[in-house]
Structure 1
C-alpha cells in the first residue's frame, strides 16, 4: 500500500492509498477519530474500514489530519480538519479523474467531519458513520442530509450515548429522498472493545447491499 504525501491547506498531509485497477472505480475516504485523544489513520477500525472498501474494488485513501504523524499544521477543532478532508478528496480525484462517485466513512470525530464533507461534495453517494457524537458536535448542518448511509453505534457507548445518537437518526428519518440505516450493536462501547470484527462485518454487509442496489432510494445524480 503506497504511502503518500499531498498538499493540504496547512501544509503536507500524510496518507495511505490503495488504487483500484479499474479506472472508473469509486473512491472511499476514511477519516480517523479525534486527534487530541490518540486518533490516527492507523486506528484499527479506520484500518479495517480501509481494507473493507479496498476488497470491494474501491480506490481507497486514509490520512492523518493536520498535526498528526507526518501531517503538518495544528489541530483546528474541526474546521481545518474538514478542509483537510476536502483536500484529500481533491487529491485522489486528481489522480482518478474517471471516478464519478465517492463514499466517506468516519469513526467518532471522523464521522462528524465525514458528514460535513458529505454536505459539501455532491459526488459522495454513501456514508458510514461509526459512533458519531451528536452530544458533543453540532450536526444541525444536515439540513437536509443529501445521501443515504449507515449510522452504527453501541448500546453501551458512554462517549456518544445511544439516546443522543437516536435523536440524530430520528431527525434524519424525517427527511425524504434518502434512507438512513441504523445499527445498534448490543454490548458495544465507543471503542467496540472485543467487537471490532462484528463492527466491520456489519459495515461490510451494509456496503454489499448498497452496491447491490438496496437500502437507498433511487434519485437523480447530484452534480459536482
Structure 2
C-alpha cells in the first residue's frame, strides 16, 4: 500500500492529506473522528477503512480537518469541516475520479452528512459508529445510496436503539446495511480486522463496479 503525503490548498486553508491513486475512476473520501478529542487521519479506524478501500481497488483520500496536524485553520464546529470535505471532493474530481464514495468514523460521519446536505454527491457510504448519542443527528439523513453502518455492541456513543431510531427516518431503508460487532466499543481496538471484513464484503456485494 502506498499513499502520497500532500498539502492541498482550499479557498481558505491548506490541509494535510494522504492520497492513493487506486486502479480506476472511483475514489473514497475518508473523514476522521473529533478533532477536540485527539481525532486525526491517523486514527486506527480511518486507517483500517483506507486499507480496505485501497485493497478493493479504489483511490483514497484521507485528510486532517482544519486545525489538526499540519492542517491550517481552527476547529469550526462541523460547518467549517463540512467545507473541508467539499473541497477535498473537488480535489478528487480534479484528479479525474468520476465516482466518489464517502467513508467516515464517529464525528467524521456527522461532518460527512452535513456536507451531503450542502451538495456533496457520493455513490455509497460506509459509516462507522455515527455518534447519535453525542451529536445532533435529528436533521441529518442518509442519502438514498447504498450504505453500511457499523457499531460495536457496547458502543458508548452509538447505542443500537438510538441508531435504529435515527435510521427509521432513512429515505431508502432497503439500501442501508447495519453490522453490529460483538465485544466491541466505540473505539474498535483489536476489532479493526472484523470491521475491515464487513467493509470489504459491502464493497464487493453492493458497491464495487468499475474499481477492480
Residue deviations 1:99-137 (CA, integer Å, cap 9, x gap): 321100000001111222333446411001100012222
Unaligned stretches of 5+ in structure 1? 214-224
| Partner of residue 209, structure 1 | 205
Identify unmatched segments of 5+ residues in structure 2.
none
2:82 equivalent in structure 1? 82
Paired position in structure 2 for 1:40: 40
Q: CA separation of 1:178/1:103 partners in 2, compared to 1, >3 Å: closer, same or farther?
A: farther
Contact 2:146 2:207 in 1 (8 A): no
TM-score, normalised with respect to structure 2: 0.90
Let me know the Cα RMSD of the aligned residues. 1.9
Is the 8 Å Cα contact of residues 65 and 81 (structure 2) preserved in structure 1?
yes
User: Contact 2:31–2:108 (CA<8 Å) still a contact in 1?
Assistant: yes
For the 8 Å contact 1:150–1:182, the answer to whether it is kept is yes
1:186 aligns with 2:182: yes
Cα deviation 1:18-46 (Å, max 9, x = unaligned): 01243xx2111010000011111011110
Matches within 5 A, 1:17-28: 17-22=19-24, 25-28=25-28
Q: Distance in 2 between matches of 1:13 and 1:7?
A: 6
Cα distance change on mapping 1:117 and 1:186 into 2, 3 Å: same
Counterparts of 2:27 and 2:86 in 1: how far apart (Å)? Answer: 13
Provide the aligned length of Structure 1 versus Structure 2.
Answer: 207
Task: Kindly state the Cα deviation for residue 93 of structure 1 after the two structures are TM-superposed.
Answer: 0.9
Q: Which has the higher contact order (CA 8 A, sep 6+)?
A: 2
How many Å separate the matches in 2 of 1:49 and 1:111?
Answer: 13
Mean Cα displacement is larger for which, 74-83 or 121-130?
Answer: 121-130
